[in-house]
Amino acid sequence: SYELSQPPSVSVSPGQTASISCFGDKLGDKYTFWYQQKPGQSPVLVMFQDNKRPSGIPERFSGSNSGNTATLTISGTQAMDEADYYCQVWDSNTVIFGRGTKLTVL
Amino acid sequence: EVQLVESGGGLIQPGGSLRLSCAGSGFSVSSNYITWVRQAPGKGLEWVSFINLGGTTYYADSVQGRFTISRDDSKNTVYLQMNSLRVEDTALYYCARAGAVAGLPYWGQGTLVTVSS
């Protein structure tokens, strides 16, 4: 079955750029989606179709996907961006999630 | 406004059964993919099942043969019947409106299932 890999944690200083990666075989051939989840809250879609932001998601969030790697980039990271981030793809009528990356803003 | 509200969670003994409900409002469940995703305490997101527009159902290997997803269009509600529950099924169960190109843009608040003796 298809698998997605993410680094368990990423740290960034406020105002700097955070990059969260997601790895999968020929991932660039699939649409990648990204979710943000804060403690005690439901996940929120922050990126769809690799690089499209849903309404209400700040412009500092951007995405890319090529080869075996999809990346969620947060420019000018703010304290409120501290959360768990999950990548997701569809594969053979199944929904695949990465294990998640904890973003710490310090 | 699109909303999904889960209910039906609770404490159940191993081997028992439970039925979760996901009530939709602001949209028609029959015109959308509806999926169940669970999250064990302190763990990541795990896809469980989805039902598509035509009513075809799909399941994760971990629940295949034990869980059944269904839909009642008259109640605008999707159900997850969970049988032969195991301790490892303990999780917060979310329902979400899904799409192959839209991802999962709408989520409910979740309902907690605890399987324990």
Mean pLDDT, all residues of chain A: 97
Dist. CA A59–CA B17, nearest whole Å: 45
Query: What count of Cα atoms within 13 Å lies in the side-chain half-sphere of residue B102?
Result: 13
E strands, chain A, where?
Answer: 9-12, 18-23, 33-37, 44-47, 61-66, 69-74, 83-91, 94-97, 101-105
Interface of chain B toward chain A, CB-CB under 8 angstroms: 35, 37, 44-47, 50, 58, 60-61, 94, 98, 100-105, 107-110
**Set of chain B residues whose Cβ sits within 8 Å of the Cβ of A31:** 100-101, 103
Q: Say yes or no for a CB contact (<8 Å) between A86 and B110.
A: no
B88 neighbors B43 (Cβ within 8 angstroms): no
**Nearest C-alpha of chain B: how many angstroms from A51?**
12
**Nearest C-alpha of chain A: how many angstroms from B39?**
10
Tens of pLDDT, residue by residue over A63-89, are: 999 999 999 999 999 999 999 999 999
Tens of pLDDT, residue by residue over B69-107, are: 999 999 999 999 999 999 999 999 999 998 878 899 999
